[in-house]
Amino acid sequence: MSIDLAPQTLTAPAPRRLPIWVIAVICWALYVVTRVIGQVDLAGFDRVATFGVIFASIVIEALPFILIGSLVSAAMAVYVPDRFFSRVARLPRALQVPGATLAGFTFPVCECGSVPIGRRLITNGINPAAALGFMFAAPILNPVVLGSTWVAYGGGVVGLEMVGGRAALGFVIAMAAGLMIAKGGQKVLRDRHGLNDDGGLTEDHGHDHDHTDGVCNHEPGSARSGTRGERVGDYLGHMTSDLLFMGRFLVLGAAVSALMQTVVPQEFIGGIADTFILGTITLMLMAFMLSLCSEADAFVAVSFTAFPRSSQLAFLLFGPVLDTKLAALYGATFRGNFIHRLLIVVVPLILVGTLIFGALFN
Amino acid sequence: MGCWSLFLLWLWQSGSVVRYLGPHTVWVVSFGAVALSIATVAYAWTSRESSESRIGVSWPRAAGMAALLLPIAVAITMANASLGALAASNKLSSRGVDMAELARTLAKGSTEVGFLQIRGAGTDAALSGQLDLGEGTSVSLTGFVMKGSTTAKDHFHLGRFYITCCVADAVPISVPIDPGLIGGGPYPEDQWLNVQGPLVRTEEGFTVQAAVIDRIDEPDDPYLSFR
């Protein structure tokens, strides 16, 4: 009796397919319906209008940033040689983590764009703590964000204090969160395809574009070999897959944020501004709820004039690390307890850090 | 991707982008429109031979795509919607915002006169001197009627939202209006008005003593920006 030892193609049951023409008809029907509804006067539907405007605006602003992240992420997957990542991956963790976190200073993209890049760094073999450190740091430390913080606080000494506090605490928090979440080298990425993580087809297999048939026929890393045309095709495949994948979770997060801004009663917040811990936690909650772009959040933070600057700083530190749209993106990208572990690390650090900041500068 | 590139192109070319984004981030729409259009065409070209494009799309993937189309549907449906008095009262009541303090901070260095500057100068003598704003200075303001802290009978607040990146970070800034002898009220919330008249100093800061109040349509660009 002979045993077939040939490598088997990993196959999952093919999902049922929706013909392209049906999709086209649905799109057309959707367009007609929206145009008809668009003729209806929205006066008297204030909440619906408020929700719709905020929801659409968050997605319109964030989607191009996810596109930038996907473009960079796909370039890393296809065009950056394997040996570069293996070289970086061989560096000691003590060097990788602060180095990657510091790299956040140079990458002018807000939080939505940094998630696909952080994910890609991990799949390419970079230490997860370093990749997470970069992912958390970039939206806080990049020069555009620090510049807008300085402008929002009117420049001068106050502006410098806020920028300094944001940069220093942001760096510490990003590095600590990366180190603690990826402690002991544990896996942090969720399996995107729902296939077995043990020896199977996972995020870490080198390329992760859409395996619609549940079939993966490529060798890991094969994207970096092949003709120029194949590489362009692979690049576009990676980019599209990342964009569509992250995009739908962005939509979910934006909807939750818009809903919160529209319907959740927020009157309780004003009365607790004087209590440091409660006030700070409240502003962190606001940061979570509002889901602002880190390049704009300082202009909103400065409007919380009833709160001390230390609490405003907590708002500026927490929002870029975790908000409703990021929670949706993290939930789709990382394993189950990622957000819990992030909260456990970040909240106490922000409280202590802003307490010290308040003692020094308030 | 095709739908999104068309939608972004439309936002960019029609100028409707100002209903969603501030001056800091308008560029993302033009960038997104161009980059997505190129990517869509290139993706369609490179995948034209794949079996996937001929057979169709799996149900889960189609559901994901539908979710991505939702914001486009919402934006088209509510093409004329903008934040109004409800959003302003939400933001003001919730944040413990001292608008005068905020305006004082952000109006520094301004040369133009608007809601932000009048509100800031009302409680900041230096800013008032810098902007040459004082009792009797004539101003013209275009905004919508919103709730305010004023308790004076018949007075109302006229304001605009100031946005930086997108509508989600909008901050409402308003100025009290005294319709005085003109009357002409009531002025319902969300009604857009052009008010002209001299400034009068009150406990709240400056109030505009209306000499002319015109009911107008909402402007194409309903939002202002801090800088």
B161 phi and psi angles, rounded to 5 deg: -90, 135
Determine which of A33, A36, A61 to mutate to test the interface with B (most B C-beta atoms within 10 Å).
A61
B73 touches chain A (CB under 8 A): yes
Classify residue A106: in a domain, yes or no: yes
Classify residue A37: in a domain, yes or no: no
Q: CA of A245: which chain B residue's CA is closest? A: B64
Classify residue A41: in a domain, yes or no: no
The range of the structural domain enclosing residue A250 comes to 48-361
Read off the pLDDT of residues A33-87 as tens digits, 9 standing for 90 and up: 766 665 555 555 778 888 888 889 888 888 888 788 788 878 877 887 777 777 8
Question: Taking each helix axis from N to C terminus, what angle separates A111-123 and A228-263, rounded to the nearest 10 degrees?
Answer: 140
Read off the pLDDT of residues B14-39 as tens digits, 9 standing for 90 and up: 888 888 888 877 888 999 899 999 98
**Candidates 2.40.50.140, 3.40.720.10, 1.10.20.140, 3.55.30.10; correct CATH number of B85-224?**
2.40.50.140
Classify residue A64: in a domain, yes or no: yes
Distance from CA of B8 to the nearest CA of A (A): 8
Which tokens go with A19? 């013909």
Distance from CA of A287 to the nearest CA of B (A): 11
Q: Residues of CATH 2.40.50.140 domain(s) within chain B?
A: 85-224
State the total domains in chain A. Answer: 1
Which positions 181-200 of B are in contact with A (Cβ < 8 Å)?
A: 190
> Where are the alpha helices (H) located in B1-151, listed in sequence order?
2-14, 26-46, 51-55, 59-77, 85-95, 99-107, 115-121, 125-131
Classify residue A29: in a domain, yes or no: no
* Residue pLDDT tens, chain A, 362 long: 444 444 444 445 555 566 666 767 777 777 677 666 655 555 557 788 888 888 898 888 888 887 887 888 788 778 877 777 778 778 888 888 898 888 888 776 777 778 888 888 888 888 899 999 999 998 898 887 888 788 777 677 888 999 999 999 999 999 999 999 888 766 788 775 543 333 333 444 444 444 443 333 344 444 456 677 778 888 888 888 878 877 887 888 788 878 877 776 555 565 666 677 888 888 898 888 877 778 767 877 876 767 888 998 999 999 999 988 889 889 888 887 899 999 999 999 999 999 999 888 86
Classify residue A267: in a domain, yes or no: yes
Classify residue A43: in a domain, yes or no: no
Q: Are A335 and A347 in contact (CB under 8 A)?
A: no
Threshold 0.95, pTM exceeds:
no
Q: CB A154 to CB B190 under 8 A?
A: no
Q: Are A137 and A104 in contact (CB under 8 A)?
A: yes
Determine which of B30, B95, B110, B163 to mutate to test the interface with A (most A C-beta atoms within 10 Å).
B95
Classify residue A331: in a domain, yes or no: yes
How far lies B182's CA from each of A63, A243, A308, B155, B214, in Å? 48, 56, 42, 12, 11
Determine which of B164, B189, B223 to mutate to test the interface with A (most A C-beta atoms within 10 Å).
B164
